[in-house]
Amino acid sequence: MNGMASDHNTSSQEEYLPHYLQKEDPFASKLSREADIVAGFYLTVIGILSTLGNGYVIFMSSKRKKKLRPAEIMTVNLAVCDLGISVVGKPFSIISFFSHRWVFGWMGCRWYGWAGFFFGCGSLITMTAVSLDRYLKICHLSYGTWLKRHHAFICLAIIWAYATFWATVPFAGVGSYAPEPFGTSCTLDWWLAQASVAGQAFILSILFFCLLFPTAVIVFSYVKIILKVKSSTKEVAHYDTRIQNSHILEMKLTKVAMLICAGFLIAWIPYAVVSVWSAFGQPDSVPIQFSVVPTLLAKSAAMYNPIIYQVIDCKFACCRSGGLKTLEKKSSLKKSR
């Protein structure tokens, strides 16, 4: 009986082998050469636009670094994370797509997976901090007034430590990084959840602390902000011009933060859904050709933020110039009277 039980346990453990442990080459592309070339060109365009856009944001911010508000310091950190993804990660995947296989071996795979997770986690935690800053500034003025620049730098240190911890935990033996099913990219080893209870605990911890909890904080913050703005719009109209201008600037920063968070989540949620299904769903039930689409969409997230900055800045400049013209007209009318 004991022998039969052990045979049964052995067979149940060997029922599922992740794609990278099977006999075939885990780094060989499972896509057609034409699809790899298209993906390579797509990532090249995304990488160039992201590098130029985020580099421009960092350069322009460095010219007025002593005047940056805490929320703006956070958005600069977000640009640093996006630039890191573009410069450190994109070349690996672009070369591999054009080569029709992952050409950097297991060491390069683990480095690429670590870098992607590190900068991605840093981006999400930065947006979480920005949403909390906006929440305190708008919904709790008594707390928001004491948030100064040095608090922002302390927050940056916590963000980088948090991202470093969770990205490095897999190297401690509780997790790993592995090639994607389509072969030309690497990611967190989601398939560990299919192998053991310890793997499931690791993946659940990653999901909670690096996705669900930050997303819940972001959603809570902006829902409270929207409700507060609806109830306080009439109150602000009775204040003097200086307070109104300060309120307009705070709302501009809030709009930027909301759009950035929305763009990030829209880009990453499909990838998160596919990853969770790979971890806890039916093994290998996600078609390889389908799994590459959310991956490419997630890699485009770093390109959106500079566009959002410019659109909001242009709109804010137009509104501000329009408001100045209106004030000038009112003052001239008062003088003529």
**Residue 211 near residue 124, CB atoms below 8 Å:** yes
Residues comprising the chain, all counted:
337
Domain boundaries, the chain: 33-317
pLDDT classification of 256: cutoffs 50, 70, 90 = confident
In the chain, the amino acid numbered 43 is L
- Mean pLDDT for the chain? 81
Q: pLDDT tens digits for 120-172?
A: 999 999 999 988 888 888 887 766 666 778 888 999 999 999 999 999 999 98
Q: What is the pLDDT of residue 94?
A: 95
User: What is the token pair recorded at 285?
Assistant: 């039930």
**Residue 43 near residue 299, CB atoms below 8 Å:** yes
User: What is the token pair recorded at 202?
Assistant: 């690791």
Q: Does residue 304 carry a pLDDT above 70?
A: yes
Enumerate residues 6+ apart whose C-beta is below 8 A from 34.
none
Task: Determine if the pTM surpasses 0.85.
Answer: no
Lowest-confidence pick of 10-14, 48-52, 213-217, 283-287 = 10-14
Query: Beta strand 177-179 with 186-188: parallel, antiparallel or unpaired?
Result: antiparallel
Please give the backbone phi and psi of residue 28, each rounded to the nearest 5 degrees, phi first. -80, 135
Q: What is the pLDDT of residue 286?
A: 80
- Least Cα distance to 200 among 191, 213, 210 occurs for 191
3-state secondary structure at position 58: helix
**Quick one: average pLDDT of 181-186?**
92
User: What is the token pair recorded at 128?
Assistant: 């979480």
**Quick one: average pLDDT of 24-45?**
93
- Least Cα distance to 103 among 25, 199, 14, 3 occurs for 25
How crowded is residue 235: how many other Cβ atoms within 10 Å of its Cβ? 9
Task: Tell me which architecture the domain covering 33-317 has in CATH.
Answer: Up-down Bundle (1.20)
Please give the backbone phi and psi of residue 101, each rounded to the nearest 5 degrees, phi first. -175, 160
Q: Does residue 74 carry a pLDDT above 60?
A: yes
Q: Does residue 262 carry a pLDDT above 90?
A: no
Q: How far apart are CA 116 and CA 121, in angstroms?
A: 8
